[in-house]
Amino acid sequence: MGFFSSLFGSKPTPSIHKEDRVFLTRKAANNDILNLLMQHVLDEKQVVLIYFFKETKRELESLLAESPNVTWVNGLMNGSIKSHPSLNKNNAVIVFAETYPDASFENAVVLDLEEAGFKGINAIFYNGIDDPVFVPFGNEKLASLMIKLGIKEDEAIEHPMVTKSIERAQNKLTAKKLLGNRIDSRADMIRQLSN
| Residue 5, pLDDT score | 42
Confidence band for 28, pLDDT divided at 50, 70 and 90: very high
Which pairs count as long-range contacts for 130-134, CB under 8 Å and 24+ apart, including other chains? 130/25, 130/26, 131/26, 131/29, 131/98, 131/99, 131/186, 132/53, 132/101, 132/186, 132/189, 132/190, 132/193, 133/99, 133/100, 133/101, 133/166, 133/169, 133/170, 133/173, 134/169
Structure-model confidence comparison of residues 70 and 52, the more confident one:
52
Cβ-count burial of 51 within 10 angstroms (0-12 exposed, 13-18 middle, 19+ buried)? buried
How far from the centroid of its chain's Cα atoms is residue 102's Cα? Answer: 11
Q: How many of the other CB atoms lie within 10 Å of CB of 6? A: 8
Rounded CA separation 69/135 (Å): 33
Rounded CA separation 20/29 (Å): 11
How far from the centroid of its chain's Cα atoms is residue 17's Cα? Answer: 12
What are the structural domains of the chain? 13-194 (3.40.50.300)
- Quick: pLDDT tens for 133-176: 888 888 888 888 888 989 998 999 999 998 898 988 888 887 76
Q: Which residues pair with 47 in a beta bridge?
A: 70, 93
Dihedral of alpha carbons 41, 46, 49, 55, sign:
positive
Mean pLDDT of the chain: 82
Give the C-alpha distances (Å, rounded to integers) separating 19 from 39, 180, 182, 185. 18, 26, 24, 24
Confidence band for 179, pLDDT divided at 50, 70 and 90: low
Whether residue 17 contacts residue 122, with contact meaning beta carbons closer than 8 Å, is answered with yes
| Residue 139, pLDDT score | 83
pTM to 2 decimal places? 0.84
Q: Say which residues have a Cβ less than 8 Å from residue 124's Cβ, sequence separation at least 6.
A: 19, 20, 21, 36, 93, 94, 95, 96
| Residue 2, pLDDT score | 46
Residue 14 above 60 pLDDT?
no
| Residue 125, pLDDT score | 94
